[in-house]
Amino acid sequence: MTGFGVQLRSHPPESQWRIVRRLEALGYDSVWTGDHIAFNVPMHESLTLLASYTPITSRLRLGTCVYLLALRGPAVAAKMTATLDVLSGGRFIFGVGVGGEIPREWELCGVPRGERGARVTEAIDVVRTLWRDSPASFDGRFTRFKDVSIEPRPVQQPGPPIWVGGRSEAALRRAGRQGDGWISYVVQPERYRESVAQIREAAQAAGRSLDGFACGHLTFITLGRDYESARATWVRMLSRRYAQDFSPLAEKYGIIGTPEQCLERLERFREAGCNYFILDTIVDFEQQEEHVERIAAEILPRLRGG
């Protein structure tokens, strides 16, 4: 069974909540938010934003794609995410990643950028320990505590699923050794297939089963009347978001064009092992609501039916 979520940008509050309500009505499985402290475009704080969705939804799962865990103290992250899971009735998915593409974020938060991978690896264990144990103790490189509790603990026990984001070899090993799922981005289907194999190898080496493991893909998708017009929008929007030229990346990484063209590309990812698409609609701000309507009408029934 393939899952489908939508990653939203930061709209004004009433617009944000209207779109989220509509996602639930349209049959999407989840809603996601990106995460940065300082970024090239405006972005709400991720966990605060997801908490605002809890009283206006009843079925949608709420996820971070992905939370830059090394930028925060893991104990605070554990407390906030436990609260979010309680408020949502156990609907939270904790997508975490390393990040690092915005160096000023690390200066702002006072975290050495070179330690980010090691901090995330340890922080995953810290968060899980605090979610699960009461009282909890931990003795690590960056975090140490003894006999503490963060009641109330999450509804989901031993804790919400943790999906590890990234495409580096270190990220794939982390997903296999520690994750309940994986989220890729800017990869091609061939590399996706190879990455799934690497995750399985890492899990096997760690003595872990991947039963129920989610293989996700953050999907930069732009529907249009034709490929060229959709491509122009995709390049313009992502170049602005990431402050670099995305023109050379469109053919490699974009899900672009007519519904048929987008479907063909999505099917290639599904054949490569993807079982969860997080759809990031790369369109002008005011067109995002219309775009998720089109995807729900013209793409999802055909993927689910197939």
Over the stretch 122-167, which tens digit does the pLDDT of each residue have?
Answer: 999 999 999 999 999 999 999 999 999 999 999 999 999 999 999 9
Contact 64, 47 (CB under 8 A): yes
SS3 content of the chain, % helix, strand, coil (to 5): 50, 20, 30
**3-state secondary structure (DSSP) of residue 132:** helix
Residue 199 has, within 13 A of its CA and on its CB side, a CA count of: 33
Query: Is the pLDDT confidence value at 302 over 80?
Result: yes
pLDDT of residue 184: 98
pLDDT of residue 41: 87
**3-state secondary structure (DSSP) of residue 115:** helix
Express each pLDDT in 91-121 by its tens digit.
999 999 999 888 999 999 999 999 999 999 9
Average pLDDT, the chain: 96
pLDDT of residue 304: 86
pTM of the model: 0.97
Beta-bridged to residue 277, according to DSSP, are 4, 217
Query: Is the pLDDT confidence value at 306 over 70?
Result: no
* Cα–Cα dist 219/1, whole Å: 18
- Break the chain into its structural domains and give their ranges: 1-33+167-182+193-306, 40-47+64-160
- CATH code for the structural domain at 1-33+167-182+193-306: 3.20.20.30
Longest dimension (CA), the chain: 60
pLDDT of residue 305: 75
Express each pLDDT in 285-295 by its tens digit.
899 999 999 99
pLDDT of residue 40: 87
pLDDT of residue 258: 97
Where do we find the tokens 């929007």? 237
Contact 7, 219 (CB under 8 A): no
pLDDT of residue 86: 98
Contact 171, 121 (CB under 8 A): no
pLDDT of residue 73: 96
